[in-house]
Amino acid sequence: MEASMKNYNEIYEYTQKVLGIIEKAEVTQEEAKWITEETVNGFRDNVNAGFLDYRKSVTKGGQYASVEWKDAGLNCFIDVNGKEYIDCLGGFGIYNVGHSNPKVVKAVKDQMNRQPLHSQDLLDPLRAMLAKTLAMLTPGDLKYSFFGNSGTEAVEAALKMAKIYHSEEGRSTFIATTRAFHGKSLGSLSGTAKGVFRKPFMPLVNGFRHVAFGDIDMMQKTMHACQLVGEDVAAVIVEPIQGEGGVIIPPDDYLAKLRQLCDDYGALLIFDEVQTGMGRTGKMFCAEHYGVTPDIITLAKAFGGGVMPASATVATEKVFEKLFDNPFLHTTTFGGNPLACAAALATINVLIEENLPQRAAEMGEYMLNGLREAAAEHGDKVLEVRGKGLLIGIEFVSDEIGYEVAKGFFDNGILTAGTLINAKTIRIEPPLTIEKEQCEKVFATFSKVLKEVNKSVLV
């Protein structure tokens, strides 16, 4: 009993100290040192030491221990030692409306003061209001929404909807594409195409096939072959633009032809817009660039406004109605909670009020031109700068050069990252609120870093 009480006392004192730190907007140099030590030790001993090794590989000196502390305006953040960074990673796409957007934060605080979570037995109003908003906002006849907490949950729900839609026919074949990323839970991982993520967990969910992204002829041949052997396709799942795969943009007519193929073969079309949605590519949804409406669309990342984890799986009535008889066939405890719904509603409001999709188109063009100009004299290092809106990829001739550039960016106060745990392509994915002056600093830093890249990595 005494040992147990001593342990509780120690835990209480430690958590009290941490809560005291949380209260502070500013910390002393001594407190910053303690926070850094606790963070590094905690990752090494209790989270995952691999994150420390990764951070060392993309930063210089001891900067891998940089500890994120607070937001600084919509487009920047500050580490615990006071160094400011322009955020060109955007939390892998969560900060479309910026860091700590005041309207989103206010909505969450207002709801928290009223009721943070709900009983789950009575009807919760914000879930209904958010679902109505999405029915008005999403393309075509998408109408009903299931809410979760993350992108992989949104994809899992989409896959289950496709399965139950075809339950009477027994269709269970899914087609995804090479270089796809749909998440890392077991079902979504079956659609993800990165072997290093898949192999440790084989066998995955049966019935998944992968074809080359952008190759409509291969897609048609695969769907036809599946039909011939009695394994008709239930659904095709695809990112309209592949984000984690390296910011890969399909041929202009690819998605429209894919829509027609799915109609011809009786398959559902699922658009994974977890990264491309909510204004990122210059339209509210990337599907709008191509004039295509899927049967199911998945949203997450920026959907919660960079304040709350939130996701949505939105489907047509003909697809979703299979869940009407038993709405408990697929549920989640925290999905559609009042705080997340408040954040999502405020996010949509801000995107429209500030015309951020259009701003993403304009600033994306500005960013693309500036990055291309900086890279123009470095064809021995940079293969291509590509993107749509503010989803931009810089592809290098090797991982090594990409890592060197990422290090250089970080050393100069700009955060970027590679795609699919490599740096051959690094992404530029800032908040849609980024200012021209900040873009210009990115261009100047990119030019400087390219000149300084160690020539040994070119060998």
Q: What is the DSSP string of 56-85?
A: HHTSSTTGGG--EEEEETTTEEEETTS-EE
Catalogue all structural domains in the chain, each as residue range(s) with its CATH number.
65-94+354-450 (3.90.1150.10), 100-352 (3.40.640.10)
pLDDT per residue over 223-276, tens digit each? 999 999 999 999 999 999 999 999 999 999 999 999 999 999 999 999 999 999
The whole-number pLDDT of residue 417 equals: 82
Query: Which 3 state secondary structure label does DSSP give 374?
Result: helix
The whole-number pLDDT of residue 59 equals: 67
Which of 155, 236, 234, 146 lies closest to 188, judged by CA? Answer: 155
The whole-number pLDDT of residue 2 equals: 58
Distances (CA, A) of 249 to 246, 259, 370, 386, 430: 9, 17, 20, 8, 18
Do the beta carbons of residue 441 and residue 414 sit within 8 Å?
A: yes
CA neighbours within 13 Å on the CB side: how many for 230? 1
pLDDT per residue over 314-355, tens digit each? 999 999 999 999 999 999 999 999 999 999 999 999 999 999
At which residue do the structure tokens 């011809």 appear? 264
Q: What pTM did the predictor assign?
A: 0.94
pLDDT per residue over 402-427, tens digit each? 989 998 999 999 999 876 556 789 99
Do the beta carbons of residue 94 and residue 429 sit within 8 Å?
A: no
Return all residues near 142 (Cβ < 8 A) that are at least 6 apart: 134, 135, 293, 294, 296, 297, 314, 315, 316
User: What is the rounded CA–CA span in Å between residue 76 and residue 140?
Assistant: 36
- Of the chain, the end-to-end C-alpha distance in Å amounts to 64
Q: Which stretches of the chain drop beneath a pLDDT of 70? A: 1-6, 56-65, 419-422, 455-459
The whole-number pLDDT of residue 62 equals: 61
